[in-house]
Amino acid sequence: MKITSKIYPIIILCLSAISFVACEKVIELDLKNTEPKLVIEANFTDSLQIQTVNIGQTVSFKSDNKMTPVSNAQVSLKSDNGLALSFVEIAPGFYATNKAVKGIAGIKYTLTVTVNNQTYTAISQMPSPVKIDSLKQTSIVIFGKTNKFIQVVYNDEPGVPNYYNNRFYVNKIKRNDSFVEFDRFNDGKRVENTLFNQEPDLKTGDKVKVELLGIDVNVYRYLFAIAQINGAGGPPTSPADPDSNFSNGALGYFSSTAISVDSVIVK
Amino acid sequence: MAIKPHLLHRNIITALICFFTITTTVFAQKNHTLNGTIKDVTTGETLIGASVKVSGTKQTATATNAYGFYSLNLPEGAYKIEISYVGYQSLVKQIEVNDNVKLDIDLLVSNELAEVIVSEVKRNNNVSNAQMGVEKLNVKDIQNVPVLFGERDILKTLQLLPGIKSAGEGNSGFYVRGGATDQNLILLDEAPVYNASHLLGFFSTFNSDAIKDVTVYKGGMPAQYGGRLSSVLDIKMNDGNKKKYTVEGGLGLISSRLKVEGPFKKDKSSFIISGRRTYADAFLALSPDSSIKNNTLYFYDLNAKANYKIDDKNVVYLSGYFGRDKLGLAKTFGFGWGNATATLRWNHLFSNRLFSNTSLIYSNYDYTIENLLSGNEFRVNSSIRDFNIKQDFQYALNNQHELKFGIDAIQHTIAPGKLTTTSLSINPLTIQNRKGYEVAAYVSDEYKVTDNINIVFGTRLSTFSLMGGGIFKTYDVNGKVTAEKNYASNEVVKTYINLEPRLSSSFLIDETKSIKTSYTRNTQNLHLMSNSTATSPTDLYIMNSNNTKPEIADQVALGYFNNFKNDVYEFSAEVYYKTMQNQIEYRNGTDLRGNANVEADLIYGKGRAYGLELFVKKKYGDFNGWIGYTLSKTERQFDQINRGNWFVARQDRTHDISVVGIYKVNKRWTLSSTFVYSTGNAVTFPAGKYVIDGQTVFYYGDRNANRVPDYHRLDFSATLDGKPNRKLKSSWNFSIYNVYNRQNPFAINFRDNPDNKAQTQAVRTTLFGIIPSVTWNFKF
């Protein structure tokens, strides 16, 4: 369904082709800054590894794209099947388990973060694992130019709603394209999802790695809202902060994430 | 709000009947009827809203209705009848009324320069009439107003009037007195048009060649209109030349137009067919590259109308519109959308005093998206369809009361989405159709209380019933399902009843000055869900339901009207205050595509809007035009947005100015210019940023707390008419949009700096800088 969100850029392109005029310019805006807000990002995966939590604060628009790390937080994870773990700070704002652990499908995990006597909790249920079957390459011709794209092939689990995120790496560098998906249109099917990445375009010899992440509905809505704000589907009406699954107004999300990885060399 | 209105309604009707009985008794005397039709002498087109002023034994005035018909009750005596209409030579007739008189009058188009204003005829209808909050556009008047790409567009010209604001750069969507774009009732020959724009809003669906008259009500809507909250835009198509055949057309940069009209039978029956097609894709076809050649991008419109005058008492009209946009990338995807409407009308005179119109109306809007990528082929269809029957009566009770009453029944069917596919990786999907009946009855009285006081009062009783079958869910405030029920086909799921009082009055201080007030309630049963600020063809309509209640607006307005310099200048000042209930927004992260449970994602709130509108217009002479200024505020409140605080709405514009000047230099050259200025849109800019999944994410905070830079623009146009008295009349129109190349923002986006990924930047997108265009028009 991704292609529908491509309509706007195409129409704008067509119109500018007619009028030779649509143009973009970087401008200076006097943006108000608010009090820094707490941001928590945590992925607890079903692969056996050291699990991490990142805690920071928002920064002003003119600052570098780095959060202010938040140290000395108490971070713990428990599950409804008796698991209890605490995280230790291994770098400023960066917390990790002291051993490799993994989540189990169907189990609900609760992450608790305490900062300055304020406690933030979030619950996320581990989805069933979905394995990437293969990565395929496809070519699409748009306005005389041939573009190469990667398709992720997997078998969707029938009868239940499944939500996905795809992380897309080219030559080991993560791209910022958003590829959140929902099986509303392909429940139980063998899915061939084309990842329409932004520029720079893929070229022969590029090493592409895709992580297919199974996520829960709240995390899906959170990431989908971010994609909407970024303009998928036309200029958004009024951007607003996505609804986090953390209590007490923290930004960010906690996701129990099923993960599957595959790589391919672009031909 | 839907509690026991029938009791209230019955009381009002009883009161009305008593009232009329009394007034008729008091004023009963030897009365006769004067009626007739007013037409253009050369084309036979009826004239809507022409002024008929009577002086003599009794002083009174009226205006022709939508079919050019007027009717007056007069005591026996001698009268002077003055008929006037903007752009036409006024006419004065002396008549003796000692029996019912039928007086049809043909007016002559005023002859440009040679025309001197006939000064004895008063053209002060705008002052004396009780109606306020109304703007009329004569399509002839706006021919010379400069426009984008040289495409004349009534919706964009309307945006130059106070209280009517553009929804965005080059956009035909508009906001009226703080209302949203879907709160405008847009009627083309009485048929509602659900998506009035082409190419995402850059062009409207109304080809001005086919349009005769445009009236927009911003407040004080007459009781015969209902169904939308903010405004009524009533567009009438040309009937077709009853005297002779003519062919008219134009060649422009974007599109070409052709119009053919003429009599089937002189003075009895005529037709008009008007078409328009853009040809941006014609340039694509020139490319040798097949991947470019096979792309499509165009729209077309077809308007057709025919009428037949059976006898003096019966006229039938058949009109239709069909328009479609097509957009396609070779072997990748296709996208098409459009409206189709049809109206069959029968005007019948039961007596000299009772005029009737019966209409059968059809309207359909649909879109289709096709994905042609191999392995993922699918097709999505969605539509909204109306069948509508209307019966309107107009009854000239006596020389003080003119009654209008009627009924209106619409069946709406919405097919939210049907997905078909040949792909093995996609499931077909059909979202349950929804059906609803909207039935309304209205009555109103235009009452001339004294020579100085006019009142129009009435009410509209509107009902809406959502029908089964299928499963209907009820959601709580968090969007969780609390109940689910299966309804049989045609079983009533939910009914809403609303009484909508309408009242306007005018007090004439003297011949040139008046004060007017109005109170209006409007309700809306169909709601448009949009993901984007731009008009999108895939925007979704929903109906009232067990979750969504009718939107309700109450508006009060007060105005001062003053004509001066012999009615050559018109001045008006209006203030309004409007409240809106049951306004709709959707939650963050809602995906409207193929969403069968969209109501789970809706939240409900309220709105308020108030403002001052100033308008001064020079109506006649070689130099004419207007200045409009609006000072206004529009806010919304939702418990789930902005921590429940009131916030400034997207429709809010603090200041808005438009200046329009048209100057007829000589017999061949006409120059015109427009200037617009408005406060920048209220938007939400980032108040900070953070990082999620390696991506920069902006932190927003308060809703609409920022403003984009102010919008302003100057346009210029020059029209050169061909030498007169030739068989082929032609004209050239040269126009320049955005003369001083102001970089008005279409959008301001925020992103990582591509040259320094550690930083972010604000990027302004401007759609239209300076754009010259040229159009050649012809007529023979």
Interface membership of B758 toward A (CB under 8 Å): yes
Closest residue in B to A17 (Cα) is B280
Structural contact between residues B431 and B416, judged by C-beta atoms closer than 8 angstroms? yes
Indicate the pLDDT class of residue B365, thresholds 50, 70 and 90. very high
User: At B570, phi and psi to the nearest 5?
Assistant: -120, 135
> Shortest Cα distance from B661 to chain A (angstroms)?
26
The class of domain A129-238+258-265 in CATH terms is mainly beta
> Shortest Cα distance from A105 to chain B (angstroms)?
22
In B103-208, the DSSP E strands lie at: 105-107, 134-138, 164-166, 174-176, 184-188, 191-192, 197-198, 203-204
Q: What is the mean pLDDT of chain A?
A: 87
Q: For residue B746, which residues of chain A lie inside 8 Å, CB to CB?
A: 22, 235
Interface membership of B766 toward A (CB under 8 Å): yes
CB contact under 8 A, B588 and A225: yes
CB contact under 8 A, A242 and B589: yes
Partner residues linked to B186 by β-bridges: B233
User: Between β-strands A108-115 and A163-170, what pairing exists: parallel, antiparallel or unpaired?
Assistant: unpaired
DSSP string for B195-245: --EEGGGTEES--GGGEEEEEEESSS--TT--B-SSEEEEEEE----SS--
For the cut 90, the answer to whether the pLDDT of residue A94 exceeds it is: yes
For the cut 50, the answer to whether the pLDDT of residue A4 exceeds it is: no
> Shortest Cα distance from B534 to chain A (angstroms)?
7
Distances in whole angstroms, Cα of residue A131 to Cα of each of A159, A174, A216, B311: 17, 20, 16, 78
Structural contact between residues B34 and B74, judged by C-beta atoms closer than 8 angstroms? yes
**B476: region left, alpha or beta (phi > 0 left; psi from -120 to 50 alpha):** beta
For the cut 50, the answer to whether the pLDDT of residue B645 exceeds it is: yes
CB contact under 8 A, A194 and B373: yes
Partner residues linked to B340 by β-bridges: B322, B364
Q: Name the least confident of A241-250, B79-88, B357-366, B624-633.
A: B79-88
Q: For residue B329, which residues of chain A lie inside 8 Å, CB to CB?
A: 10, 142-143
In the three-class reduction of DSSP (H, G, I as helix; E, B as strand; rest coil), residue B126 is classed as: helix
| For residue A9, cis peptide bond before it (omega within 30 degrees of 0) | no
pLDDT at A47: 93
Interface membership of A31 toward B (CB under 8 Å): yes
DSSP string for A223-252: HHHHHHHTTTTSSBSS------SSSTT-EE
Interface membership of B384 toward A (CB under 8 Å): no
In chain B, pLDDT over 90 holds for what percent of residues? 42
CB contact under 8 A, B688 and A144: no
> Shortest Cα distance from A82 to chain B (angstroms)?
29
Pick the CATH number of B134-233 from 3.30.1390.20, 2.170.130.10, 3.20.20.80, 3.40.640.10: 2.170.130.10
Interface membership of B254 toward A (CB under 8 Å): yes
Indicate the pLDDT class of residue A115, thresholds 50, 70 and 90. very high
Nearest CB to A61 within list B292, B369, B760: B760
More confident residue, B402 or B108: B402
More confident residue, A131 or B124: A131
State how far the Cα of A2 lies from the Cα of A180, in Å rounded to an integer.
10
Q: Mean pLDDT, to the nearest integer, of A201-206?
A: 92
Interface membership of A4 toward B (CB under 8 Å): yes
A98 half-sphere exposure, CB direction, 13 A CA radius: 8
Interface membership of A243 toward B (CB under 8 Å): yes
Interface membership of A189 toward B (CB under 8 Å): yes
Task: Name residues whose C-beta falls within 8 Å of residue B331's C-beta, 6 or more positions apart in sequence.
Answer: A141, B291, B294, B372, B373
Per domain, the residue ranges of chain A are: 38-125, 129-238+258-265
State how far the Cα of B677 lies from the Cα of B29, in Å rounded to an integer.
56
Q: What is the dihedral of CA A78, A84, A87, A88, to 10 degrees?
A: 160
Nearest CB to A191 within list B425, B641, B684: B425
Q: Mean pLDDT, to the nearest integer, of B546-558?
A: 95
Interface membership of B314 toward A (CB under 8 Å): no
Q: What is the 3-state secondary structure (H, E, C) of B245-311?
A: CEEEEEECCCEEEEEEEEEEECCCEEEEEEEEEECHHHHHHCCCCHHHHCCEEEEEEEEEEEEEEEE
Considering the domain delimited by B5-123, tell me its CATH architecture.
Sandwich (2.60)
For the cut 60, the answer to whether the pLDDT of residue B94 exceeds it is: yes
Q: What is the dihedral of CA B5, B10, B13, B15, to 10 degrees?
A: -110
Per domain, the residue ranges of chain B are: 5-123, 134-233
Residues 202-221 of A with CB under 8 A from B: 221
Task: Name residues whose C-beta falls within 8 Å of residue A180's C-beta, 6 or more positions apart in sequence.
Answer: A163, A164, A165, A166, A220, A223, A224, A227
The class of domain A38-125 in CATH terms is mainly beta
pLDDT at B326: 87
Q: What is the mean pLDDT of chain B?
A: 86
- Tell me, yes or no, if the two domains A38-125 and A129-238+258-265 fold the same way: yes
State how far the Cα of B584 lies from the Cα of B564, in Å rounded to an integer.
44
CB contact under 8 A, B766 and A192: no
Interface membership of A252 toward B (CB under 8 Å): yes
Q: What is the dihedral of CA B638, B644, B650, B656, to 10 degrees?
A: 120
DSSP string for A91-116: ETTEEE-SS-B---TT-EEEEEEEET
Indicate the pLDDT class of residue B290, thresholds 50, 70 and 90. low
